[in-house]
Structure 1
Amino acid sequence: MGDKRWVATGPAGLADFAFIDVDVPPPGPGEVTIAVRAAGVNPADLKHVSRATEFPAPVGYEVSGALSAIGPDTEIASGSCAVGDEVLAFRVSGGYATSLTVPAGKVFAKPAVLDFSEAANLLLAGTTAADLLRVARVTNGDTILLHAASGAAGVAVLQLARRVGARVIGTAGPAGLARVKRFGGIPVLYGEELLTRIETAAPQGISVALDAAGTDEAIDASLSLVYDRTRIVTIAAPARAADDGFVAIGGNQPESMAFRDDIRAELVQLAERGELVVPIARTYPLGQAIDALELVAAGTAGGKIALFTGSDLDP
């Protein structure tokens, strides 16, 4: 069987997705080819395709698998490598695929403690979480209000914040409260009277607000509780940030992009030591990428979603 990948053939979202046959080019100097075992599924995958100006546009930004070919005189980001080595890669193009050739500098040895689904979902959420903490200048003793704390980025924030000695009040829906508690946060149910519940959970006050929800309820609570608007940071509400004078970040901003690239190796090491866990909610065959994206877009996944390659490829 030949190789296959998902592409967007136009700007109409999932209606324009196609699962096509491809010829994967051999790696040149500074490149490797990965036989993909799992691809991470993220809201950003669909969002970035919606901004594409040229089609067909490849889909997917993080994968795990094994090296099937290595370009001349090439090492991956974590060092020397050999065909068959298990790896993960982030900021690649076209990860929803059975195989792909990528720059070796985007590839790291896969921690043995992570399965392929976990490895394929480590770095987008992890680098986003680390960037939120960096921009908000979180330090030991801070009390953080974290919106959407049970989501992928939120769970990573909970783990990384604990390492620096910060306390986290995490908002979530009913299904996510136990997950917030599991990863060290103080869970608070969102909804009516949210502000009162937050103030009860944090009588000493809130010094930082981090938003991965993007709702007016979340933003209004943050603005009410945090005086310094440079310490209110969102990844989900850029329009509100512009209107109300707080901070919005994204992986396409040059400073964030550079930081997220630099922090990748450290996050891989944390995962290797069991200090950064990736909760997987569900996996789908690669051929069912549209179903996986629909679940992620609905916001009800309850953890990370992975696509896996295997014999059942057809939609």
Structure 2
Amino acid sequence: MSKAYVFTRNGGPEVEALVDRDVPAPGPGELLVAVRAAGVNPVDWKLRDGYVRPGAEAAPFPAAFGSEAAGTVEAVGPDTEGFAVGDEIFGNPLTGGYAEHTLFPAAVSAHKPAALSFAEAAVLPVAAATAHDGLVQLGLAPGATLVITGAGGGVGSAAAQLARHAGLRVIGVASAAKKEFVTSLGAVHIASGPGLADRVRAAAPEGVDAVFDLAGGDALREAATLVADPAAALIGAGDKPLVAELGGAAVRRARNAEVLRTIGGLAVAGVLRAPIVRILPLDRAGEALRAVESGHALGKTVIEVSS
């Protein structure tokens, strides 16, 4: 048996539980992984609430939390190439990352760079990969000005770092409490809240070239007024329906191993640092989720499954 932190039905924190489950057997194209660390993301509690990813089916209950993790391969499924027992990998698990054992799809997994800890690798597959995919989608040239709403969170902080590496000027919208953190990423901090668009215009009188939204709501509505052509210059991962309503587009996720290898390399090179601010054990997974679900988390929270 193997422990996993799951939700037993759709609902709030009351449906969460740490349970024992059978160690899963890898099928074709799958890897059985002993999890060492798992990243915590907003999508985790959203799935518990009933959100279903476009094109996907809801996982059967009980469903383990966790969309990104790192660990060691314990078994390789049939017709699976490129991995062997003992390999240290990171990626997007099929059967939840908040678990002692889980299955990974080989197609969305990569070898963990030796220079990265398991915790550092575990927080890359969702936030950093989403940031990478969004910037590729925008295709901005060096020197362009990019506004990132929600710049103090996991995706926002990764996007700011990658954008600065690409030669962009970054304006990061976040709470006043996150000013020091946002500026440490090389971004110009703009306080969130009513009037943020006017504050951005004051900081960038020459205008902005694009908006990458990770906040949604009123922040997105204001930020959308900063670009003349939302269809070309407004993308988001925070509130996809509202992004579409305002004429923009959701971030198109690549979800492949090549992106993982790219961001892993950038992390090793020091271009992308994972701002891990909290590490909790598996038996405190609920506490880790509450920190992210509050909407005020700074950087990344990690669940350490084994050491």
Q: Structure 1: 5+ residue runs without aligned partners?
A: 250-255
Count of aligned positions: 298
- Shift in alpha-carbon separation, 1:101–1:80, aligned structure 2, 3 A: closer
2:274 corresponds to: 278
Q: Secondary structure at the match of 2:113?
A: coil
In 2, Cα distance between equivalents of 1:272 and 1:203: 36
1:252 corresponds to: none
Q: 1:46-65, aligned counterparts within 5 Å?
A: 46-49=45-48, 50-51=50-51, 52=58, 54-65=60-71
Q: Secondary structure at the match of 2:255?
A: helix
2:295 maps to which of 292, 299, 305: 299
* Per-residue deviation, 1:99: 1.1
1:68 maps to which of 70, 74, 79: 74
Residues 25-83 of structure 1 show CA distances to partners (whole Å, capped at 9, x for unaligned) of 343553322111111111101212323474222321111112223345643xxx453x3
Q: Structure 2: 5+ residue runs without aligned partners?
A: 52-57
Residues 136-183 of structure 1 show CA distances to partners (whole Å, capped at 9, x for unaligned) of 232222101111111110111111112221111111112211121111
Q: Secondary structure at the match of 1:291?
A: helix
RMSD, aligned CA: 2.1
Q: 1:1-315, aligned counterparts within 5 Å?
A: 2-49=1-48, 50-51=50-51, 52=58, 54-71=60-77, 74-75=80-81, 79-81=82-84, 83-216=85-218, 218-230=219-231, 231-249=233-251, 256-257=252-253, 259-261=254-256, 262-310=258-306
* Per-residue deviation, 1:293: 0.7
Q: Secondary structure at the match of 2:225?
A: helix
In 2, Cα distance between equivalents of 1:260 and 1:12: 28
1:253 corresponds to: none
Q: Secondary structure at the match of 1:225?
A: coil
Give the TM-score of the pair, scaled to structure 2. Answer: 0.89
Give the TM-score of the pair, scaled to structure 1. Answer: 0.87
Contact 1:60 / 1:92 at 8 angstroms: preserved in 2? no
* Per-residue deviation, 1:89: 2.0
> Which residue identity does 1:47 align to in structure 2?
K
Residues 288-312 of structure 1 show CA distances to partners (whole Å, capped at 9, x for unaligned) of 111111110112221101111249x
Contact 1:145 / 1:209 at 8 angstroms: preserved in 2? yes
In 1, Cα distance between equivalents of 2:92 and 2:60: 22
In 2, Cα distance between equivalents of 1:107 and 1:136: 25
Contact 1:62 / 1:92 at 8 angstroms: preserved in 2? no
